[in-house]
Structure 1
Amino acid sequence: MASATDDPDGDGPDGVEFIREDDGTVTARDLETGLARGGNSRAEALAQLAEVLELHEGGGEDIESPDEFLQEKLDIDPDERDGDEPLPEFLR
């Protein structure tokens, strides 16, 4: 099931494609950027995708302390990380 509009500017595809996964979840994929997020329903997947698109476009808040973020938000002990492994891009 896909939703797209005509492309008057010639920039490429526009709209969102919904994909029903085998496990019953739904993935929403932005046709312009290729970014995708999933959820238990179309509404949840679309809300998650909207959040990702906002971050992709420079929205959101900076993370002041990556180690604190890892510990408090993701329950990852920063001391147990492989020191040679770089931080994910969103934590740099």
Structure 2
Amino acid sequence: MATTSENDRGGGVVFTYEEDLVTARDTESGVAASGTSKPAALSRLADALTLQAGGGEPIDDEEAFLEEIGVDADEIDDAGEPPWE
């Protein structure tokens, strides 16, 4: 069960806690990110907000990128298709 502390509301960010996971959610956009601490969650939230706003670099070759970061593209379900179909 996730909990939210009234002391952790402010600056447009709401923190929730579930076991060892802290989630920071931007109240304006709804974008959220998690980490093992408030600073880690905020850092990841900042990255997520940057990407949502169009920041970052486009990936030209998705399979090459996945291979570079050590992910087997054959093990990834197609986006948008529920796993039960």
Per the normalisation by structure 1, the TM-score is 0.69
1:2 aligns with 2:9: yes
What is the aligned partner in structure 1 of residue 34 from structure 2? 38
What is the aligned partner in structure 2 of residue 11 from structure 1? none
Structure 1 unaligned spans of 5+? 5-14, 88-92
Task: Name the CA distance, whole Å, in 1 between partners of 2:56 and 2:65.
Answer: 14
Instruction: Output the amino acid matched with 1:77.
Output: D
Task: Name the CA distance, whole Å, in 2 between partners of 1:86 and 1:41.
Answer: 29
What is the aligned partner in structure 2 of residue 18 from structure 1? 15
Identity of paired residues, percent? 41
User: Superposition RMSD on alpha carbons, in Å?
Assistant: 2.1
Structure 2 unaligned spans of 5+? 1-7, 81-85
Shift of 1:2: 1.1
Question: Any runs of at least 4 consecutive aligned residues in structure 1 with deviations exceeding 2 A, and if so which?
Answer: 75-78, 84-87
Q: Which moved more, 1:44-53 or 1:58-67?
A: 58-67
Task: Specify which of 74, 79, 85 is matched with residue 78 of structure 2.
Answer: 85
Shift of 1:27: 0.3
Hey, which of these two has a bigger chunk of strand by percent? 2
Task: Specify which of 48, 57, 60 is matched with residue 64 of structure 1.
Answer: 60
What is the aligned partner in structure 2 of residue 54 from structure 1? 50
Equivalenced residue count is 73
